[in-house]
Chains A and B, each alone.
Chain A
Amino acid sequence: MMTRHSRGSPFAPHTDGETAAMLEAVGAESIEDLFDIPEPIRFDGEFGIEPRSEREIRTEMRALLGRNDDLTEFLGRGHYDHYVPSLVDHLADRSEFLTSYTQYQPEITQGFLQVLFEYQSMLVELTGLEVANCSMYDAATALGEAATLADRVRETSGSTVLVPELLREERRSVLENYTEGAGLTVETYPYEDANADREALADLASEGTVMIYAESPTVRGTVEEGLGAIADIAHDEDALFVLGSDPVALSVLEEPANVGADVVIGDAATLGLGTSYGMGLGLFATREGFVRQVPGRLVGASTDSAGERAYTLTLQTREQHIRRERATSNICTNQAWVALRTAIHAASLGPSGLVDLASDCLEAPAELADRLDDIVGVQAPVHDRHHFREFVARTDQPAEAVRETLEEYGFAVHAIDDHLVQVCVTETNRKKADALVTAFREAAK
């Protein structure tokens, strides 16, 4: 609503006089008359918001943030801390990029479209698949969209989506939202030592299966060793094999296209965002044969009338604003600015920088697990696998007590079961590992 300041404000500069003149010009009695909001849907109450100045708000927020515990985090389970170079903020905050304007008009926004094209190209390179969209909301959304894509492209009928028994809650929940509407059901297959139990999976897969989903790294940080075999199980039933991963892990893991992945989903915001803001960036890549079934937005490269390379959204006829109820997806937007940050971060690292970062994520947990394993009363890692970023340790003491003691020493870890804790270590907290080990000795007693 309009400010009531007679002389306006920096954010709503109209004076009372200007407001009155405009109302008179359009023939409205008052602002209420101009907007004409029907009585039944009008909010009739107090917002209970005290107006404060910018300076007051800053002081208050600083005090509020100061109440946070200053813990060193060894937390993972879906949110990973990688150092985001300041270059990313500086470039992403440029006004050409940081705007509420929807950056899709090719006539005016070649720069942004090029960035999104670069983002897609990086994912194509990392996955080995031919097509990547320029992002979905998050990994959970991408998983749901993968299930409906699998349902659309499968020649024969079927209705089951197979997912691992250990799956992050938000992914499972969003997947079920998607499948419920599409007449699909979600079933789980068991893990064995935090990898797919392939025998059990083969027994569960049938001609009614439309998709098999596997993750690497898994929820417990293990690298899945049987991707090729899982792909074969899926393909034997004419089902799609969908792999969940992330751009950092993909830098060192076997290329998904090589192990038979039809779709790769995941959270691309492991680059560019760090752990803040509680948001992700849905990665979605697939084979060229499914290009007309891809959900979301695709940027393509072409040439303009002068023969110059130019970028534009392409294959929009898949999308809701054109195809309405027969669109591939209800989504015809993406997280352009987050994808921009991810692309800048990835580009600043370059291929070798990405591999270095990913190598840290393989070495650091192996090293830390070894050292925790030396402590009496701790066995680590619980799973006899390669780990990426995180691993699970067993404690003779109740896990919750261990977690609390570690917190007193200034460290945060997850307690995930009665005697299991999960520890995540990347390049950002690797140097604090010594201190964590010392605290663990106390906590494990």
Chain B
Amino acid sequence: MSFEVPEDLYYLASHEWIDPETGRVGISEFAQDELGDVVFVELPNEGEDLTQEEEFGVVESIKAVSDLYSPASGTVTAVNEALFDRPELVNDDPFGEGWMLELDVADDLDGVLSAAEYREQIE
């Protein structure tokens, strides 16, 4: 099956996405499918500073645990608290309601994959 890879986002090889406009971060549709039913998401606190590729949390499915890596350096300005009660949003809408956090991105994004590059990696 082919997975959605929105053109306007950037990606990490470890399957996180970041929206350069809003600083929103989540995991890709491909990643949620690999994990299966997500049952728990562990996220950082607002105000934490992250550097690119740093672990910022954990996503758990019934039989797997995956670390989450930050696609960019910046300060966490928002955390999607809806995921604490409804972690399944990550499966249902990974690029929308399943977002995880917002970063106040310090610099221009580099060291990330374009949609085309990421698509090549997962196909």
Contact = CB atoms under 8 A, between A and B. Distances in A.
A292 B40 contact: yes
Contacts of A326: 58, 65
B57 to A, nearest CB: 12
A317 interface: yes
A316 B63 contact: yes
A322 B40 contact: no
Interface residues of A, number: 6
A323 interface: yes
Interface in A302-321: 316-317
A316 B40 CA distance: 12
Nearest to A324: B65
A292 B41 CA distance: 11
Interface in A275-317: 292, 316-317
Interface string B76-110: 00000000000000000000000000000000000
Contacts of B61: 317
Contacts, number: 17
B64 interface: yes
Q: DSSP majority for the B interface?
A: strand
A91 B25 CA distance: 55
A292 B63 CA distance: 14
A301 to B, nearest CB: 16
Interface string B41-79: 000000000000000001011111100000000000000
A317 B38 CA distance: 11
A311 B101 CA distance: 35
A316 B63 CA distance: 7
B40 A323 contact: no
A317 B39 CA distance: 10
Central interface residue in B39, B62, B63, B65, by most chain A CB within 10 Å: B65
A3 B65 CA distance: 45
Contacts of B39: 317
Interface in A116-158: none
A322 B60 CA distance: 10
Contacts of A317: 39-40, 60-65
A317 B61 CA distance: 8
A364 B38 CA distance: 54
Interface string A251-293: 0000000000000000000000000000000000000000010
Nearest to B59: A317
A292 B64 CA distance: 14
Contacts of B60: 317
Nearest to B60: A317
A326 to B, nearest CB: 8
A248 B8 CA distance: 64
Question: Which of A292, A317, A323: most chain B CB closer than 10 A?
Answer: A317
Contacts of B65: 317, 322-323, 326
A326 B57 CA distance: 12
12 contacts: A292-B40, A316-B63, A317-B39, A317-B40, A317-B60, A317-B61, A317-B62, A317-B63, A322-B63, A322-B64, A322-B65, A326-B65
The 10 closest A-B pairs by CB, nearest first: A317-B60, A317-B65, A323-B65, A322-B65, A322-B64, A322-B63, A316-B63, A292-B40, A317-B40, A317-B64
Given A292-B40, A317-B39, A317-B64, 13 more contacts: A316-B62, A316-B63, A317-B40, A317-B60, A317-B61, A317-B62, A317-B63, A317-B65, A322-B63, A322-B64, A322-B65, A326-B58, A326-B65
